[in-house]
Amino acid sequence: MTLLALSVIPGAFASTELAYDDGVPESGMAALGAYLAVKFSLPDGCTNAKLIKARVYNREAAGTLVNIHILGSDGVTELTPPFSYDVAINNAWNEIFLTPKDMTVTGDFWVAVEFLALGDSLLGLDMSSTAGHSYLGTPRSWDPLPENIMIRAVIECSNPVGGVAMAVNKPLVLAPYLALWGLVAAVSALIVVKKRR
């Protein structure tokens, strides 16, 4: 029970998905020799965050390699060396797990997909919601797009909303779980005593 209680506590620091698209692709887009990118901003009250994963919606042409770039707020600085990713699932979100790269982002950051060959994956293109975060081009030469490229980012904020870091009173947090554990132990003991009689 104690292990169960302790495993519940990290859930208080839940991840947040940043998205500007509405989740429905009206079309698809690729850009041979260029990147498609989304510039993300951390939510209010979150000054820095761990980048947990990126998600790209693949419209069609599954099983193609692209390069993934994670860029700083300037859209140029690489936060980690670019790496290849196999876009393997059609008409669905493809998950790019970034926790092993141990990246902390502050303010704005970019997730960009670089296309390497003709016939590469077509990323979902949302044409029915307000745009303003999607770009086509290369670092140092970005052009805004009138649509939303369906790239999302999942973060875990390192500080609570409101921007104030507060110490956690661990006994107070654990108290309900310890009380539950004590209750289960007491009921179990009572059942054992009754069975013996």
Asked whether residue 42 is assigned to any structural domain, the reply reads: yes
pLDDT at 130: 87
Residues recorded for the chain: 197
Model-wide pTM > 0.85: no
Structure tokens at 22: 């509405």
Number of structural domains (the chain) is 1
- Does residue 164 carry a pLDDT above 60? no
Q: How far is CA 132 from CA 74, 145, 146, in A?
A: 16, 7, 7
pLDDT of residue 93: 96
% of the chain exceeding 70 in pLDDT: 73
Residue 7 maps to a domain = no
pLDDT confidence band for 175 (50 / 70 / 90): low
Residue 63 lies in a domain: yes
CB 68 within 8 A of CB 14: no
Q: What is the pLDDT of residue 8?
A: 39
Q: Is residue 197 part of a domain?
A: no
pLDDT digits (tens, 9 = 90+) for 83-135: 999 888 889 999 999 999 999 999 999 999 998 887 667 899 999 988 899 99
**CATH code of the domain in which 32 resides:** 2.60.120
> How buried is residue 133: exposed, middle or buried, by Cβ count under 10 Å (0-12/13-18/19+)?
buried
Q: DSSP character for 100?
A: G
| Domain membership of residue 128 as a residue range | 13-157
User: Per the domain annotation, does 39 fall within a domain?
Assistant: yes
143 part of a folded domain: yes
Query: What mean pLDDT comes out for the span 134-162?
Result: 89
Residue 177 lies in a domain: no
pLDDT, position 117: 80
Least confident residue range of 106-120, 151-165, 175-189: 175-189
Q: Is residue 168 part of a domain?
A: no
Q: What is the dihedral of CA 73, 76, 82, 88, to 10 degrees?
A: 70
pLDDT(138) > 70: yes
